[in-house]
Structure 1
Amino acid sequence: MCVGLLALSSQAQELTLKTVRQANSLVKYDPANADQPGLCHEIIKAVERVDPGLRFVGLDKLAPLKRVERLLADGEVDVVFCLLRSPGRERQWRFLPQPLYTVRQVVAQRVDDPRQIDSLGDLARGSYTKPVLVSRGTILTRRLDAANVQINEVSSEREALQMLVMGRADAVYGQDVNLLRHMRDAQLGSKVRLGRVGFGDDMQYVAVRTGLPAAHEERLMQALRRLDREGVLRQLADKYR
């Protein structure tokens, strides 16, 4: 009873946290799309619904991923939704333990390309003819570097898929939800396919700046746990697949 009363008292207090919207990631943020305004955008709004005293400001600000990381590391924003964990990132800020959704690393190829890419070794061998395209600034590049895959970083999955269709590359490495979204938007289903093999599943998390008060972290975690318990996180993730 006391714990419940404390939780209600905490939620009644106003708390505003600064965030920022990641550019070139329509799956995460696409506020101009009324039907699918972005998975991360919808998670943020769901958090605000279950805790009406908790508000996030800064969604009107747009920044590329590298800039988002710098803002968080410098403490200029309090929280960023939907980031992958990595040792390098965990040295700069903290991640809340509640996963938001899962993404799978996959390869996109042209439909008329008969090659089957079943391993990173296959991908590496083909990359010496034409480098593999990957979005600039993502931690996916580190995995490809470790596997000796030759890469060419581009601004977005959308640009990468356009280059793939034009024959300027033979493979795009990215996250399934992002690639599928761009394939649907550009009506590339007859020209581009995803490979049959996944190269690892990763969880997306909420990252918070070093020095954010523990009480603020716990309040955000309470809201996320409730969304997970009520199945909201799963429903939102399914909506974007």
Structure 2
Amino acid sequence: MSKSEQVRPLWALQGVLTLLFLMLMLPACAVTEIRTAAQEASEPKYIAILNPQSKIAIGGMCVDILRAIEKVDPELRFIGDQVWQPRARIDAALKTGNIDVICGVQRIARNTSQYQFAATPLFSVNYLLAVRADDTVAVGDWDDIRKLGNDGIILTLRGFGIVDILTQMGGLKIDDTATSSISNLKKLLAGRGRFYCHRSPGIGLAIRQAGLEDKIRLLSKPQLTEKFYMGMAKTMSPELVNKIGASLVLLERNGELKRIFERYQE
């Protein structure tokens, strides 16, 4: 072997080492942490799950969507989705700058005044009415409920968008003092309301978890269909808003948003 042939492997090794050194010296891609929270009583947006270590974790549609966004854009990282907070506290935290996004909100006036929205809907839901199984009430539209007067009280959850929607419809008797589905289901059985209006998927799961399948039934009419979006603080930078929006466009086009939603059908 000639002297030049002996030297060539050494130069090649030095080249590889130099390249590795330069790669290590390059700055890593900056990761932006985006603060959020798990909204209480919002199943299946957020649900309590038992992980293999027998510890309670938080999963659900929104957690799956946040992880999917991180997968398509590794420069984004959502934090806080393992901490429960009521909707009112989430709104307050956003106003004070302690939360950046809320997953799954409607384009109603109360929300548009607080958030900017990604253009791509995350999912659509139907709002259904639950009644006691022994209640023979038959309604075909919202006018039928209006005619019931005080015998047609609709139970809803405090701070949820459906309260605004039903209020805007006018003439409906609404009780939005409860903060959980189990509370409203108990009130329904106690006769402290004629209907419980909640979204599906969600309301069927709440009934099953309460073990009330034989005591409560769902009406087929009337229904409301609503789209839910990613709400972002109005102070969020346009660059970050665009990155989240672009990720959601990709997830919608490749069918991942649909697949996530279908995993939580009742």
Q: What's the TM-score, normalizing by structure 2?
A: 0.80
Further displaced range: 177-186 or 11-20: 11-20
- CA shift at 1:74, angstroms? 3.0
Whether the 8 Å CA contact 1:104–1:198 is kept in 2: the answer is: no
Q: 1:45 and 1:156 mapped to 2: Cα distance?
A: 26
Aligned counterpart in structure 2 of residue 18 of structure 1, from 14, 26, 35? 35
- Structure 2 distance, partners of 1:220, 1:187, is 39
Does structure 1 retain, via aligned residues, the 8 Å contact 2:44–2:202? yes
Instruction: Please say which of residues 117-126 and 98-107 is displaced more in the overlay.
Output: 117-126
**Contact 2:129-2:196 at 8 Å conserved across structures:** yes
Please name the residue that 1:27 is paired with.
Answer: 44
Which of structures 1 and 2 has the bigger CA Rg? 2
- Cα 1:190–1:94 change in 2 (3 A) is same
Using the alignment, how far apart are the partners of 2:255 and 2:29 within structure 1? 24
2:22 aligned residue? none
Q: Is the 8 A contact 2:115 2:232 kept in 1?
A: yes
Q: How does 1:95-110 map to 2 (within 5 A)?
A: 95-110=117-132
Residue 142 of structure 1: how far off its partner (Å) = 2.3
Task: Count residues in correspondence.
Answer: 231
Amino acid at match of 1:65: R
1:232 maps to 256
Contact persistence 1:111–1:193 (CA under 8 A): yes
**1:101-140 matched pairs, under 5 angstroms:** 101-129=123-151, 131-140=153-162
227-236 or 47-56: bigger deviation? 47-56
Aligned match for 1:215, one of 239, 245, 253: 239
Query: How much has 1:116 moved relative to structure 2?
Result: 1.5
TM-score (norm 1): 0.87
| CA offsets 1:107-141 (integer angstroms, 9 cap, x no match) | 11122222122222222233512622111111212
**1:202 alignment partner in structure 2:** 226
User: Which 5+ residue runs of structure 2 have no aligned equivalent?
Assistant: 1-27, 53-57
Q: After alignment, is 203-212 or 56-65 more displaced?
A: 56-65
Tell me the amino acid that sits aligned with residue 152 of structure 1: D
Q: Which residue of 1 aligns with 2:65?
A: 43
Structure 1 letter corresponding to 2:217: R
Asked if the contact 1:93/1:209 (under 8 Å) is kept, the reply is yes
2:185 equivalent to 1:161: yes
1:191 and 1:53 map into 2 onto residues whose CA distance is: 49
Change (3 A) 1:31 1:13: farther
Q: Is the 8 A contact 1:144 1:150 kept in 2?
A: no
Contact 1:18 1:79 in 2 (8 A): yes
Distance in 2 (alpha carbons) for counterparts of 1:207 and 1:134: 22
Q: Which residue of 1 aligns with 2:213?
A: 189
- Contact kept? 1:22, 1:63, Cα under 8 Å: yes
CA–CA distance in 2 between the matches of 1:118 and 1:49?
45
Secondary structure, in 3 states, of the residue corresponding to 1:105?
A: strand
- Residue 6 of structure 1 is matched in structure 2 by none
Task: After the TM superposition, list the runs of 4 or more consecutive aligned residues in structure 1 that deviate by more than 4 angstroms.
Answer: 33-36
